[in-house]
Amino acid sequence: MLAAKTKAPDFTLSDKEGNAVSLADFRGKKVVLYFYPKDNTPGCSKQACAFAGAYEEFKKRDVAVVGISKDSIASHQKFADKYNLPFILLSDPELIAIKAYDVWQEKKLYGKVSMGVVRATYLIDEEGNIEHVIPKAKPDTNAAEILEYLQSM
């Protein structure tokens, strides 16, 4: 995992409409950058819905919410439509941001070892620096945990 108080790696990825989105586009506002394994899986759906439910609170604080996985643009479109997700989903099939943010790691499931995206969340400040890191984000409490952190500032 990348550490707080370090420069956030910039990237340019496609959103669910195929538009190019860069981290630099958000200079001047905070960004919740959350990485998740796969669209339409129970944990990832729960996490996305929690961010959707808290989206107005993030908007009030002028904080952008961006979810990143290695799923395709088409998969993101279906996922966003199915759950009415109001925030940005970025497709990273080439693992550009996923590797830059050190969330492509060895995972174990039922004794089988494989590489995959670990669920992690970064809060990026207005100048593009990592302000806060949640290395093992929990799907159901991730959004609330970030809001709690923002309120404590």
Point out the residues that are catalytic.
44
- The amino acid at 15: D
What pairing do the DSSP bridges indicate for beta strands 12-15 and 88-91? antiparallel
**DSSP assigned state of 28:** T
- The amino acid at 97: A
Question: Residue 122 and residue 120: Cα distance in Å, rounded?
Answer: 7
By CB atoms closer than 10 A (0-12, 13-18, 19+), residue 94 is: exposed
